[in-house]
Structure 1
Amino acid sequence: MHGQPEHLSSEMTSTTTNTAGVGLRSDRGPILLALMVSTGLIAMDATILATAVPSVVRDLGGFSQFPWLFSVYLLAQAVSVPIYAKLADIVGRKPLMLFGIGLFLAGSVLCGFAWSMTSLIVFRALQGLGAGAVQPIAITIAGDIYTVAERAKAQGYIASVWAVSSVVGPTLGGIFSQLGIWRWIFFVNVPLCLLAGTLIARNFHESVERQKHRIDYAGAALLTAAMSLLILGILEGGQAWSWSSPTSLGVLGGGSLLLAAFLLVERRAAEPVLPLWVLSRRLLATTTMLALGVGVILIGLTSFVPTYLENSLGIDPLIGGLALAALTIGWPISATLSGRLLYLRFGFRPAILVGMALVVIGTGTLAWTSQHPSVVVVALSCFVTGLGLGLVASPSLIAAQASVEWHERGVATGTNMFARSIGSAVGAAVLGAVANGVIARSGRPETDPATAADAGTAVFIGVLVAAVVTIVAAVLMPKATADTSPDPAR
């Protein structure tokens, strides 16, 4: 590569492609609408629960367990993404999308009827298994039906779902929480799932050449077991057992050994669930690392900001949710503009570097001011961070998709989404352990304003560190332009 732009190859046309055919009234409009509604399922879930955590804890108990509500969901999503991605390249996108929507629906209904924190955590895992199919396959379908230039415009439509959900989700979560009916946070998914499934079934048609393939069951099992043990060790260390205890060492050591075994199995598997060739290509490796960092940053803010504001200031859940909404309002704005203003003109890396600079400014401000809680400052910091994340997540994913052919696109997309989910799952575990540790050392309840401010400060410093580390991946990313000239050396 040696500093020269890496050109992205596939069936795409050049950046001057006419994008007039992109929109809800175009021939592909019904498919785009189906993808928007399907994405809405995941977008809504990303913000609606965080505002109701204090209410859920009051009803079911177990504040120290609340990070599990996010970690187990994200873990299930993460470990299933590579499997779904591989199957999507084998049997097609449509069957997997419908299956994922069905699982998400079942998990949502069961969550609504949860009778304890433990049961809610288990049912959140089922939701996560459904989300593991819906989000990456929706993005893969968009990659199939739109060119690079068209995706810049199509991304605006899909990103608008996040903008709407960023307001609707926290608002509904806050209202349901204040009314004492937090279970409707999950029941509201039922009509959305039915609508999404109907739109996909009616409007999306594909032709898939059926071939015999071998599923990497051993790799999938090892990956699931390894990540489960590692996250268990991180979340319960210092809580259920001390960090230096034999139990802690055994859990974390066992997870590490299983992860090493997974990597060995993947090297020998005929059709690995997570092909290591993805990491052998510099562009895919760096975009995967970017996705990992985005996952940590995103979960650090979405899972802790509302609770931090509610406990440190005593504000209503609705206000805390709306402060968080600024994050997911900024994201789609920059994601929509990123193609036209940045990566289609200057390449993907400049757009991502600008985005990371904004992320560091936003998270740095949040960490710096967290000892003096302010809804306005938190909202502004989240908005700036969201603007930055929109310039990182979307361009890096599109760059990864555009660098491979159709038969590899599901895996490339799945790997990117897997990395983001793993980042979120591990980030929720690590940051949750940090917050629980601060609270435990204070000797005061989590609702004490000073304790909440201290815990929030520790979490936001952790998010800032993750942002600074992620810049390294952005700097190492090869220059890449949305050009159709193949680069055999990629």
Structure 2
Amino acid sequence: MVQQITNRKVVTVGLLAALFIGALDATVVSTAMPHITKELSGFNLISWVFSIYTLTMCVATPIFGKLADLYGRKSVFTAGLLVFAIGSILCGAATSMSALIWFRAIQGFGAGALTPVTFTIVGDLYPGEQRAKVQGIFASVWSVAGLLGPLVGGTFVDYISWRWIFYMNVPVFVAAFVLVFFFLHEKFEKKAKNIDYIGAIVFTIGLSAMLYALLNGGEKYAWDSALIIGLFIVAAIFIALFLFTEMRVKEPMIPLGLFKTREIRVIYMLSFLGFAVTAGVMVYAPQWIQVVLGHSATNSGFTLMPMCLAWPFAATMTGRLMFKYGPRLFIVSGAVIVAAGSLWLMLIDADSPYSYLVGILIVIGFGMGLLATPILVLIQNAVDWSQRGVATSTNSLMNALGQTVGVAMFGTLFNNAAAGLETKQIAHGMHVVFIAIFVIAVAVVLAVGLLPSQRKEPGKPQSSVAR
């Protein structure tokens, strides 16, 4: 438990810097990939540069979340920073695509600590209404990074070198390390810890097999291929072993007791479904603009900017007003607005103007901004301090899984519906995807109805925090 903070604002700046650069790194690489593959060769390995980062980040997220509860936030956060910085330096120095992929795996593992532990520390530092406001600001970081990522990446590639998209992380992380390590003071009770090694191992194997199958099925390998089927079987076996293990160990990596609370179950469901919708929109809306409407890649990229601006605006506004009006109002409003935007997306056709897509992305981005902050605050209020880290990291895992499963499902639907490469066939395939996005958005609205009535103030702190 945090007992003394020398300078809470300084720590907050350090956390923001670390979260921002981690989020930026997830988007900045896409702009530089043509130059990277040209220099390092291995174009056929390009998908692995992204996939391995997602895979290791998903695996590491709940592990770091649990370690933060066992060993304190600061030590785990700074360890994650160090791993990410090492991975960044190695990526910048890579001399082959294979090496870059391995180094991206290290980077992703370090990134698995940044988001969940950052939000956990914020939950510790700020009580009541302040927590909701600050969480709203932090929740918007990913959208801002998504907006700036292509611009930053393009600038480094054009004027310096693609290697500096990785090297630029180092000074930022040094600053973040200093601000957090020296100004965040924890009085953590030292006692014998029972680490769930077996749970971590079987979870890593099971989730890795499932993510590899989802990221490569339908593209590199057919869904009914022996490899993909075998991976899903391995995933099912090891996830079952993981659940069996978690029911018996003293300090489970993911306490299954979390899921006994209906509120948390519903919130995790909302996170999973909401980010599946977001993934589908961000992948296929730009493609519609390029292929069906005939706009340039630059224009399609700029179309995402309003969404990336509407999301942080709504998240920040929600953080300021949620304590006054309660989280349920914003969750319901966000779900309905996302569904409305998805319905609009489903109804567009080849004759729909470009401005419709801009409006759709603004609506969906605004709705997701309303959802993100109250979901995070509700989770942190629903558990004790000793489980806040793992509860927050599990929500981050649900976000990532929603995106991964969503992209895999939408890709399969698109490939099955688009019978060829003609514009009409591609448009039909994407329209099928838009229908699926709307169905999931409706499921989000229905899931909101399962939330129990709020029994306590949304900003009520669970632990004492010195000001």
| Counterpart position of 2:249 | 269
Q: CA deviation at 1:405?
A: 2.0
Matched, 1:431 2:410: yes
Render the CA deviation track for 1:112-153: whole Å, top value 9, x for unaligned.
455565544433322221111011111111100111311122
When the two structures are superposed, what TM-score results if normalisation uses the length of structure 1?
Answer: 0.82
Render the CA deviation track for 1:361-416: whole Å, top value 9, x for unaligned.
22333343374686543333222211111111110110110122211211221221
Q: Distance in 1 between matches of 2:80 and 2:265?
A: 27
Render the CA deviation track for 1:280-319: whole Å, top value 9, x for unaligned.
0111111111121233233334455556655666756554
Q: Distance in 1 between matches of 2:263 and 2:328?
A: 10
Q: CA deviation at 1:325?
A: 2.6
Q: Distance in 2 between matches of 1:57 and 1:308?
A: 26
| Counterpart position of 1:291 | 271
| Counterpart position of 1:278 | 258
Within the candidate set 301, 307, 313, 1:327 is matched to: 307
Partner of 1:273: helix, strand, or coil?
A: coil
Q: 34-43 or 301-310, which moves further after superposition?
A: 301-310
Confirm or deny: 8 A CA contact 2:323 2:458 kept in the other structure.
Answer: no
| Counterpart position of 1:101 | 81
Counterparts in 2 of 1:167 and 1:420: CA distance versus 1, 3 Å: closer
Render the CA deviation track for 1:319-345: whole Å, top value 9, x for unaligned.
43332232221111111111443x323
Partner of 1:268: helix, strand, or coil?
A: coil
Counterparts in 2 of 1:101 and 1:155: CA distance versus 1, 3 Å: same
Confirm or deny: 8 A CA contact 1:78 1:132 kept in the other structure.
Answer: yes
Partner of 1:249: helix, strand, or coil?
A: helix
Report matched runs for 1:293-308 at 5 Å. 293-306=273-286
Matched, 1:398 2:372: no
**Superposition RMSD in Å:** 3.4
Q: 252-261 or 41-50, which moves further after superposition?
A: 41-50
One-letter identity of the residue aligned with 2:438: L
One-letter identity of the residue aligned with 2:457: A
For structure 1, list consecutive stretches of 5 or more residues without a partner in the other structure: 1-9, 12-25
Within the candidate set 448, 451, 457, 1:482 is matched to: 457
Q: Distance in 2 between matches of 1:451 and 1:116?
A: 38
Q: Distance in 1 between matches of 2:224 and 2:168?
A: 43
One-letter identity of the residue aligned with 2:168: V
Counterparts in 2 of 1:408 and 1:159: CA distance versus 1, 3 Å: closer
Within the candidate set 322, 327, 335, 1:356 is matched to: 335
Report matched runs for 1:249-260 at 5 Å. 249-260=229-240
Report matched runs for 1:134-153 at 5 Å. 134-153=114-133
When the two structures are superposed, what TM-score results if normalisation uses the length of structure 2?
Answer: 0.85
Confirm or deny: 8 A CA contact 1:171 1:322 kept in the other structure.
Answer: no
Confirm or deny: 8 A CA contact 2:274 2:368 kept in the other structure.
Answer: yes
Confirm or deny: 8 A CA contact 2:377 2:458 kept in the other structure.
Answer: no
Counterparts in 2 of 1:378 and 1:104: CA distance versus 1, 3 Å: farther
Q: Distance in 1 between matches of 2:293 and 2:151?
A: 18
Counterparts in 2 of 1:327 and 1:279: CA distance versus 1, 3 Å: same
Q: CA deviation at 1:209?
A: 0.9
Render the CA deviation track for 1:254-293: whole Å, top value 9, x for unaligned.
2112212211111112111111001001111111111212
Q: 104-113 or 450-459, which moves further after superposition?
A: 450-459
Within the candidate set 64, 67, 82, 2:62 is matched to: 82
Q: Distance in 2 between matches of 1:278 and 1:269?
A: 15
For structure 2, list consecutive stretches of 5 or more residues without a partner in the other structure: 463-467
Q: Distance in 1 between matches of 2:363 and 2:80?
A: 33
Q: Distance in 2 between matches of 1:348 and 1:469?
A: 19
| Counterpart position of 1:471 | 445
Q: 82-91 or 194-203, which moves further after superposition?
A: 194-203
Q: Distance in 2 between matches of 1:153 and 1:235?
A: 35
One-letter identity of the residue aligned with 1:395: P
Count of residue pairs the alignment pairs up = 457
Partner of 1:205: helix, strand, or coil?
A: strand
